[in-house]
Chain A
Amino acid sequence: MTKIETDHHDGTSDATPGGYEGQRRPGELVFGALLTLASLVLLWDAWGIENTFGPNGLSSPRAIPLATTLVMVIAAAVILLKDMRLPRVTGETVMKDILPTTVIIVAVLLVAFGVLLKPLGFLPTSALFLIATIKLLGDRGWGWTIGVALACLVLIWIVFRIVFTVLMPAGIVPEAELIQVVRNLFEGAK
């Protein structure tokens, strides 16, 4: 059997992705099945693509999508069949090695970030997110956590909002008005 580099099997480096050769990890079968199913749905959808304004031959907008989704279905099916014959890795469980509680919590926080970003606005959402995750991961005092979180947020905000004028959703904080006030102050000082 091939030697497994324990340093790499968690997939931290893309060049040597996780997974074991000759064994399957917990949940791998379900993942493979989902991919096969999704590929089939995409293949079906690709078949339905039509060119409204022209012919549907070799030059159709469906040609390449049809070919690629077909490859996806075949590849996913081959992977699934191969996996089914492999023995399971002993000593690994989904809860311990694939989806530990921390990962689930952070994932939920990320989803919450996405949901709240528009109604609440960028600054409050990011502040909440940073404080929650840094506290969760760092296990340090509240003062330290909040201080570090806000300092980082201010830095990011200055780079993106002021220097690069990326207008993130303002939400409940009247960012634009505040910036205008500061701008007026500066111009007044000149």
Chain B
Amino acid sequence: MKRFVFGAVSALVLGVSAAAAADYPAKEIQGIIQWGAGGSTDTVMRSVTPHAEAVLGGTVVMQNMTGGVGAIALNHVAGQDADGYTLLMGAENPLLYKVMGLGDKDYSDFIPISILARGTPILVANPDAPFNDYAGMMAYIKEHPGELRVGATGPGGLPSVVTAMINTVEGKMNVISVPYDGDGPALTALQGGAIDVMPAVLGAAIEGIRAGKMKPLAIFDVAANPKLPDVPPVTDFNAAYSTYLPWGPFFGVFVKKGTPDDVVAKLAAAYAKGAENAEFKELMDNRGFNMLAISGAEAEAFLAKWQQGTTWLLQDAGLTKTSPEAFGIARP
């Protein structure tokens, strides 16, 4: 008991006098996950973090904080101390908050610890749909204007970006856009025939494609994906897509700007090492994600490029609330 009290007191003294990075982490780290339990962000974060913990020699307590398209979690982390004890585990959405009018903060208020992986979009259809590839779908839309039901996940979601790309490249499509609250429910609806076509991330659709519950129309990438070698890339149908591709949603771990450099370095090293774990790599590969595991200047550049490309694409498609120009986001 005496020893415990002594230990506690000395830890207190230490904690107050020297919050240096040498003994970081001196307490458990909070990891705020932007999306709900069971979602892809949640799964990815919960599978990489234990490996990073082992390197770090500390504990990361992960908590889901949902709401406001992830803005609640982002603002929460932004409101904490920049001491490296609160991590934001998020996806790509915050880069669109400003132009969509969802908030005044985005990843420019944070330092990327690691951009872990990037997904690839794929266009899938109900197996009973009267076409079998991308070209067939475009022809069907021309013949039956305003008939095809395309799934969406709200402004700024992956489907809205893919749709904006198609509209920009092929001219405006006359289709019905049916909104769902996530690609999971939308793909369920696709299998039930409530919608005909859905732009989704490869990992979410891959098992359904393997089982023949949905059929792939085209991969939104410049080359075929090794997971589905028979599905043609969309650039095979229209080379103009290569301006915007490769594009895809991503997952990353962030800390608030102002966090000491050595803490950032320690965290970045831990997550870089954690992402190299074979089991984690296999999980990401199974779900069709491309590993990135980048940090530092490389990650900053990736974020800036992603934001420029996507916000201006949405702006040109008339899907934004405020022009990217107003926030100093230059046209790519």
Contacts and interface: CB of A to CB of B under 8 A. Distances in A.
Nearest to A178: B8
Interface in B282-330: 319, 321
Size band of the interface chain A makes with B: 10 to 19
Nearest to A175: B27
Contact of A177 (B4, B26, B59, B101): B26
A185 B7 contact: yes
Interface in A128-175: 165, 167, 174
Interface size class of B (residues with CB under 8 A): 10 to 19
B12 interface: yes
A165 B61 contact: yes
Contact of B11 (A53, A165, A167, A181): A181
Contacts of A53: 155, 319, 321
A52 interface: yes
Contacts of B12: 174, 177
Given A181-B7, A185-B7, A52 B27 contact: no
A185 B4 contact: yes
Contacts of A184: 7
A182 interface: yes
B191 interface: no
Contacts of A182: 4
B128 interface: no
B40 interface: no
Contact of A176 (B4, B7, B27, B101): B27
Nearest to A182: B4
A121 to B, nearest CB: 14
Which of A178, A179, A184 lies at the interface centre, i.e. has the most chain B CB atoms within 10 A of its CB? A178
B319 A176 contact: no
Contact of A180 (B3, B26, B63, B101): B26
A183 B57 CA distance: 12
Contacts of A176: 27-28, 85
A167 B63 CA distance: 9
Given A52-B101, A53-B155, A185-B4, A177 B319 contact: no
Given A174-B11, A174-B12, A176-B28, 10 more contacts: A52-B155, A53-B321, A174-B27, A178-B8, A178-B11, A179-B27, A180-B28, A181-B8, A183-B59, A185-B7
**Which 10 A-B pairs rank lowest in CB-CB distance, beginning with the nearest?**
A176-B27, A181-B11, A165-B61, A180-B27, A53-B155, A177-B15, A181-B7, A177-B27, A177-B11, A181-B8
